[in-house]
Structures are given as C-alpha cells and as structure tokens.
Structure 1
Amino acid sequence: MLAGEMQYQFDDEHINIPTNYSLLLNCIHSGRRIHESNLNSNGEIVIVTFHSDILKKVYQREFPILFQQPQNKVTNQSSEIVNNEFLIKKYIEGLLFYFENPSLVSDEILILKLKEIILLLSQTRNAETIQVILSQLFSPITYTFKQIVEANLFLQIGIEELAQQTNLSVSSFKREFKKLYNDSPANYIKTKRLERAAELLLISDERITDIAFDCGFNDLANFTKSFRDKYDITPTNYRLKLNNK
C-alpha cells in the first residue's frame, strides 16, 4: 500500500492493510477479495505477482530456500501482513521509476528486480511465514485440520494464530473445532497441555518452569493455577506425591 488503506476479506473477517504495509497472498484460494476501506479516499497500490513457471526459468540453477517447503512446519497458512521495511520501500521506489519509464525496461532488469524482491522478503522478520506461503507454489502440501491442531498443541501460540495455520477465520476455526472435538479450542488445548505436563512431572527430572514452557504455558503462575484447578494439587506436590509412591 503506497497510500490509503485496503481490506483483505475472507470468510466473515476483514484484515486491514495500512499505508507502507504489504499483503503476501496465495492467490489460489478463492472466495477472498481485497477492497478499499474508505471509498472516498484515493488508495494507491503496487501488485507484484509471482508465477511459478517464470520463477522456475529464472532460478534454473539456484532455487532459493524461500521456495522450499520448511521442515517441521505443519500449516496451510496462505496470507501474511508484511511491514515494508526500509529496503522494501526503496525497492518499490525503484520499481515505480521503471513504471514511469517503460522504455528503460529490459528482460535482464526484470529478472534482477524479481530476484531482488525475493531476496528482500527472505530477510524480513516475516521470513518464516513467507517461506511457507511461497513454497506452496512448488510444494502444494495440504494438511488436515486435525494434523495442524495436533502439531501445534504444545507450542506457545494463540487461537488467532492457530486459525491462521488452518487457513480459516477465527470464528470459522472455532466452529470447525467444536464440530470435530466437541469442545472449545481453549478448553481442549489447555486440558491436553495439562495432561502432558502431568506425564512429564512423573517421568522427567526437568524443572517445573521448563515443563510448563515445553507444554505451551508462558507463565508459571497461570500454569500452577490451571494445574491445581484440574488435579486439586500443585505441580510440586503432584511430583512429590507420585515419587513417594
């Protein structure tokens, strides 16, 4: 977005794309659209489209990591908001120069500009998610809803991010979750994390803080309270009681 603000609409949710931000989007998915937030404003947008056939020709001998399916990443996420950092802003300025002076454009320059934006995207703070999305051009792996949920159970991510991984809005994710698990995401995930923590307290000598972290809790006090609510005993006493037996 060079000026104004756009909205990305999918399912029953809208994501705002403000000035100086970009949306990286897998265009394969239908039922989604981008439109101006304010019809009275003059929005200005630059669109760069990546075609897999062209990319294969450009990167015949040096296929970048950004197009390779990341290991141990179970997600169907197909969009990401990217902050246009300084170098990307300068890239867009250079791109606009060629838009305004098309007679200066050659195939060699186009190839260089394509490689440049790929390199810049690989260096942003969103690089990991960008790799997930761009790799879908060449490795169209689709995971089931349950595969994604089970793979992320013990990671420190919230419902919104989990919904992103399944490529659904939060409300659609909750409806699908309820249908498959007959429980709310928050309750099911917390229960599974506490059950895993109870197992680790029995078989592991790890510190309780580390066990809480490994099971997806980022706050020891919250973990202790949740554990006591479920098992009627603190994690420390649970471990001592079992060890004494």
Structure 2
Amino acid sequence: MIKEHLQLSLYDKGIFERVVLKAPMKAPGVMKNEACFIYAVAGESVVFSAVSEMKLNTEEAVVMKCGNFLNAWLKTVDQELCEAIAIHFYPDVLKKIYDKELPEFFKSIKNVEPSSIAKVKSSTLLKNYINSLQFYFKNPDLVTDELLKLKLKEVILLLVKTDTSGSMKQLLASLFTPSEYSFKELIEANVFNNLSLEELAMLHGVSLSSFKREFKRVYNESPGRYFKTRKLNRAAKLLLSTNERISEIAFNCGFSEVAHFSNSFHDQFGCSPSSYRLNQNRK
C-alpha cells in the first residue's frame, strides 16, 4: 500500500519520485522506452527482471534498462514502512538536457553487458545526492526546470564516475536497447521464485492467456503442473542434502506458506517432508 507519493516533473514527464509504502508490496514496472534508477532510502526489496533477480538493501540502488520489472518490497521485523526514490531516464528528455548531443557512453553500445539490471553500492557521494533530492521534495517551491536538468545530469555523472568496474558505464550505454531472451530463459530463471503467472506474463510483456498458450507450446504441459513438480523435486533433494529447516526449504523452493508446501509434498511423495527426510536417511 502506497502511503505517500511525491513527484517532480520535467518536460511534462515525472523524472524524480519519492514513495513511502507499507510492506509487503509488489510494484510492477513496464518501461518500454525508459530506464530507471531506484534507491532504497529505507527497507529491503527483491527486484525481478525477466531472467534475473537482485536483492536491494537500505542505502543501495539499482539501475534498470528498458524492459519489464517487478519490485517486491519485503516486510521485516525492523521495517514495515519502506521509502524509495526513483529517477526516470527518457531518451527524449536526455537529448534535450544535453542539447541534442548525448555523452559518448550513451551512444557507444559496443560490447555492452547483456544484463538488464545493475546494483549501485552505497557510498557517501550517493547518500549526499539523495539527501539533496529529499530537500527539494520537502521544498518543491524552490524547484525549477534548470535545477532538475542539473540534478539529472549529476546522477548520471555520479554513476559513471564511481563505477570502478566499468559495468555501470556499459549498462548506461545500452539503457534503451532491450535485452533479448527466450521464453525458456524466462521460465528457468524464475522456476523457484514466488511469482504468480500474472507476474511472469507481465515480465514477458504478454497477456496471461498468451503466456499460457506459449507455455503449453514450449513445455507441452500446464504451467501450474510444471512449476509445482519442479519445486517439489528440488525440495526433496534439499531435504536429503541439507540440514535446512523445512520452512526454509519451502521458501527457497518458491512456496510462500509451509502448510501449502507440506500438503503438496504429501500429494506427490505420499508422506510429509519430515517423514520423507527421516525415512530416506535411514536407508
């Protein structure tokens, strides 16, 4: 549930956003021709792209290139209210603020990283930048278009200058080049994630009915049956090869409720998870 939402716009587009929300909450994002920077002021989340996922902790950020994403904010013992700041990058806006001449790293898309998402580690420079944005969210009367242009250029320069590995520069260069992936890559990357079919269809950029048809064509069985079987088979292996608690195994295999996991496991293997572990270890 969103508790507070503030936005600063430039050229009639929301560029800077501040959001306070109550976790747990899943926030989908469809970015056909934009990229986005998200900074976790408070709280934790897991950001899913079509074929990857990334944990986001407090005072960390991610940059996501154009595509579909799902940001799952987590409720923790210490944190129920989460706060995030998002900065949106639009090609037409960038061209305007750079006087129609983009920096070289936006135009040089050779040898770019295939990843559609990259983490930005916490740093003093980044925290100072975020604090400066917080000031303007609290004092919107001081905000002008020229100021927003400067703040947008500033975050891009900050991301490039603090990127020691070069991966962020490569990602920025390919911000508006969609990542290519197959349907199978999408499925196999998310088999053990606790995502609904509707959320997987959103990540793939299709309707739920189209997603189900494609799944049947590729796998020759229903998605529900396929995911359930894969998750339970993995759980059976973990029961024998690890000392993890049953609740941890259920979560790691993509089940949100232990009771549902136990019932499903019994239906497939004819016994409870604890009995399965005990009986197999005795053999």
Give the TM-score band, short-chain normalised: 0.5 to 0.7
Contact 1:69 1:135 in 2 (8 A): no
CA offset digits 1:188-217 (Å, max 9, x no partner): 101110011011112111111111111001
Change in Cα spacing, 1:60 to 1:183, as seen in structure 2 (3 Å) is: closer
Structure 2-normalised TM-score? 0.47
In the alignment, the residues of structure 1 paired with residue 180 and residue 188 of structure 2 have an alpha-carbon distance, to the nearest angstrom, of 15
Contact 2:105 2:173 in 1 (8 A): no
The residue that corresponds to 1:26 in the other structure is 32
The residue that corresponds to 1:127 in the other structure is none
The residue that corresponds to 1:228 in the other structure is 266
In the alignment, the residues of structure 1 paired with residue 243 and residue 192 of structure 2 have an alpha-carbon distance, to the nearest angstrom, of 19
Cα offset, 1:223, TM superposition: 0.2
The residue that corresponds to 1:125 in the other structure is none
Alignment of 1:126-165 (within 5 A): 137-138=175-176, 140-165=178-203
Contact 2:33 2:176 in 1 (8 A): no
CA offset digits 1:87-115 (Å, max 9, x no partner): 7x969x77x976xxxxxx7xxx5732644
In the alignment, the residues of structure 1 paired with residue 224 and residue 172 of structure 2 have an alpha-carbon distance, to the nearest angstrom, of 30
Structure 1-normalised TM-score? 0.54
CA offset digits 1:105-146 (Å, max 9, x no partner): 7xxx57326448989xxxxxxxxxxxxx98863553211000
Do residues 192 (structure 1) and 230 (structure 2) align? Answer: yes
The residue that corresponds to 2:214 in the other structure is 176
Aligned length: 166
Alignment of 1:78-89 (within 5 A): none
Contact 1:177 1:183 in 2 (8 A): yes
Query: Which letter maps to 2:211?
Result: F
Change in Cα spacing, 1:118 to 1:185, as seen in structure 2 (3 Å) is: farther
The residue that corresponds to 2:102 in the other structure is 57
In the alignment, the residues of structure 2 paired with residue 192 and residue 199 of structure 1 have an alpha-carbon distance, to the nearest angstrom, of 11
Query: Which letter maps to 1:145?
Result: F
Change in Cα spacing, 1:171 to 1:184, as seen in structure 2 (3 Å) is: same
The residue that corresponds to 1:111 in the other structure is 149
Change in Cα spacing, 1:153 to 1:197, as seen in structure 2 (3 Å) is: same
Query: Which letter maps to 2:116?
Result: Q
Which has the larger Rg? 1
Cα offset, 1:150, TM superposition: 0.4
Contact 1:69 1:139 in 2 (8 A): no
The residue that corresponds to 2:116 in the other structure is 69
Query: Which letter maps to 1:144?
Result: S
More helix by share: 1
The residue that corresponds to 1:38 in the other structure is none
In the alignment, the residues of structure 2 paired with residue 230 and residue 60 of structure 1 have an alpha-carbon distance, to the nearest angstrom, of 53
Change in Cα spacing, 1:157 to 1:116, as seen in structure 2 (3 Å) is: farther
In the alignment, the residues of structure 1 paired with residue 151 and residue 190 of structure 2 have an alpha-carbon distance, to the nearest angstrom, of 37
Query: 2:102 aligns to what SS in structure 1?
Result: helix
In the alignment, the residues of structure 2 paired with residue 177 and residue 242 of structure 1 have an alpha-carbon distance, to the nearest angstrom, of 34
Cα offset, 1:178, TM superposition: 1.0
Change in Cα spacing, 1:155 to 1:136, as seen in structure 2 (3 Å) is: farther
Cα offset, 1:161, TM superposition: 1.2
Return 5+ residue gaps in structure 1 as ranges: 3-22, 30-46, 62-67, 73-85, 99-104, 120-132
More strand by share: 2
In the alignment, the residues of structure 1 paired with residue 92 and residue 102 of structure 2 have an alpha-carbon distance, to the nearest angstrom, of 10
